[in-house]
Amino acid sequence: MKIALAQLNYHIGNFEYNTNKIIEHIALAKADGADLVVFAELAVCGYPPRDFLEFEEFISLCEDAANQIAAHCKGIACIIGLPVKNEAEAGKDLYNAAYFIEEGVVKAVVKKALLPNYDVFDEYRYFEPAVEFECIEFKGTKIALTICEDLWNINNNPLYISNPMDVLITQEPDVMINIAASPFSYQHDDERRAVLCDNARKYHLPLLYVNQVGAQTEIIFDGGSMVLDNQGNLLDEMPYFKEHLRSYMLTDGVIEGYTIAEHQLVSDIAQIHDALVLGIRDYFSKSGFSKAVLGLSGGIDSAIVCALACRALGAENVMAVLMPSKYSSDHSIQDALDLVENFGCKHEIIAIKEAADAFDSMLAHAFEGLSFNLTEENIQARSRGIVVMAMSNKFGYILLNTSNKSECAVGYGTLYGDMCGAIGVIGDVYKTQIYELAHYINKDGELIPENTIVKPPSAELRPGQKDSDSLPDYDTLDAILYQFIEMKKSSEAIIALGYEEALVRRIIKMVNSAEFKRYQTPPILRVSPKAFGMGRRMPIVGKYLA
């Protein structure tokens, strides 16, 4: 039996687009001689549909799309993921399910049992877990079909009390197929591969795994669909961050034509780069936008965002706005201009001195006798926010936010100023990683000006200002933030690693005090195991860890 895996980029709620894409790849797989073509989890509606699932019409449109797809399954079978109604009175109204379609008819419905409800996942909000499991028989082959998390209960600290494959294996299947919507983080590909290998070894079955690719607002799917033999050896791996269709011959429980393969070794920074480019591109294309605007300061953060945007959208669709203040240095302006020249994007220079001075004048009476402080610095940042939003309104540009994760973590940013935007491009990338990204972008030649990389970072909102005036050095800051945010360690545990107690407590207090700011920031493209946003939900007024 020849099985095709279709690793595709879906669009949530765009049924015409998703259906046509699936039908197109059914035809391509059939032309390649495939007997069965497999699509990803919730492929019909896109993942994660979230509260769209609460609309009856949405579920009906899923069923209508499945019927259209079924009509094209003649001479080839397919597996598609979609939500289906739970006809029982008790329990949630829906199942996260998969249809097995043969000769235009739905021959089997497989329902997901293990519903993740952690980090970015919220499936138990909508779906009822399956409790019955049956293999699918097709062309003399018995298939154990599971959906994403159903294979993830195999580690030493299981989240669930049951395991669908423990039931399915008693029915003596010949092969496992897993359809998934497994989000990207720069650590997740290794973890995912290990889990799948463990399953193939435990159940002594070959495993075909198909994942989605593409970005859905902040969540990015990296693809990396793969095939394993019954010893857990990797036989083949599809490209990351790209759509792909590939067929495999299964004969007597053996994937033919493949020997043990090497995993595609790609650095974390290269993965982050590719993920962010895809995240920007899909945010714009799926939202119906094409042109971006950002404030370009001459600093490394905005330089990275500009570079990524040019690669994602084309330089001709990127507007970089230079907004020097009276404290901006000449070299910062030149660094920004050098970047614009290197990438060929559009640019405008709009000084904010007049605007900031006007606000100072307006507020002079109210602030009489008070010295210059953070207030006046924030007025400058908010003046810049007004400028870039005016450009957005006037020309239809979508504003890219340029705050990095280190700044987001400790609140080193101005609400309604440099924290505004439609999408946070690097809000899940620590400052130390930003420098690595700059070197990666420059690996084939200098695109990010060297001076942008080597000069001390500064907001340039007062004379001689440097980030180091307000923050610890970024190597130390990021290391402590990683232990607190990603590793979820307490202050005592971080101090035990050798960090100064006063510094650790100061940083954690800054993180917790900035929660109200993060609630008001744009969605952030997720590239780490623990990103700000829906994957990290903290109370604003909580006392714990204060």
Query: Residue 89: what pLDDT?
Result: 92
Query: Residue 451: what pLDDT?
Result: 94
In the annotated binding site, the residues are 118, 182, 295-302, 378, 402, 407, 517
Burial 371-400 (b: 16+ CB within 10 A, else e): eeeeebbbbbbbbbbebbbebbeeeebbbb
Rounded distance, CA 394 to CA 117, Å? 42
| Alpha helices by DSSP H, 265-404 | 268-287, 300-313, 330-343, 353-363, 374-395
Rounded distance, CA 76 to CA 65, Å? 18
Rounded distance, CA 433 to CA 426, Å? 10
Q: What is the DSSP letter of 524?
A: B
In the annotated binding site for L-glutamine, the residues are 118, 182
Return the number of other C-beta atoms located less than 10 Å from residue 480's C-beta. Answer: 24
In the annotated binding site for deamido-NAD(+), the residues are 378, 407, 517
Query: Residue 481: what pLDDT?
Result: 98
The CA-atom distances, in angstroms, between 475 and each of 231, 403, 453 are: 42, 17, 15
The pair of three-digit structure tokens given for residue 325, joined into one six-digit string: 């203040």
**Sign (positive or negative) of CA dihedral 98, 102, 105, 107:** negative
Rounded distance, CA 139 to CA 11, Å? 32
Range 2-265: architecture per CATH: 4-Layer Sandwich (3.60)
279: amino acid identity, one letter: G
Burial 116-125 (b: 16+ CB within 10 A, else e): beebbbbbee
- HSE-CB of 524 using CA atoms within 13 angstroms: 27
- Which residues participate in catalysis according to the annotation? 41, 112, 148
Given a contact cutoff of 8 angstroms between Cβ atoms, the answer to whether 432 and 531 are in contact is: no
The candidate with the shortest Cα–Cα distance to 538, out of 498, 484, 457, 462, is 484
Instruction: Return the domain boundaries, the chain.
Output: 2-265, 270-518
Q: What is the DSSP letter of 315?
A: G
Query: Residue 542: what pLDDT?
Result: 86
Class of domain 270-518: alpha beta
pTM reported for the whole predicted model: 0.95
Given a contact cutoff of 8 angstroms between Cβ atoms, the answer to whether 160 and 131 are in contact is: no
Per-residue confidence of the chain (546 residues) as pLDDT tens digits?
999 999 999 999 999 999 999 999 999 999 999 999 999 999 999 999 999 999 999 999 999 999 999 999 999 999 999 999 999 999 999 999 999 999 999 999 999 999 999 999 999 999 999 999 999 999 999 999 999 999 999 977 789 998 999 999 999 999 999 999 999 999 999 999 999 999 999 999 999 999 999 999 999 999 999 999 999 999 999 999 999 999 999 999 999 999 999 888 899 999 999 999 999 999 999 999 999 999 999 999 999 999 999 999 999 999 999 999 988 777 889 999 999 999 999 999 999 999 999 999 999 999 999 999 999 999 999 999 999 999 999 999 999 999 999 999 999 999 999 999 999 999 999 999 999 999 999 999 999 999 999 998 776 676 777 777 778 999 999 999 999 999 999 999 999 999 999 999 999 999 999 999 999 999 999 999 999 999 999 999 887 765
Query: Residue 158: what pLDDT?
Result: 85
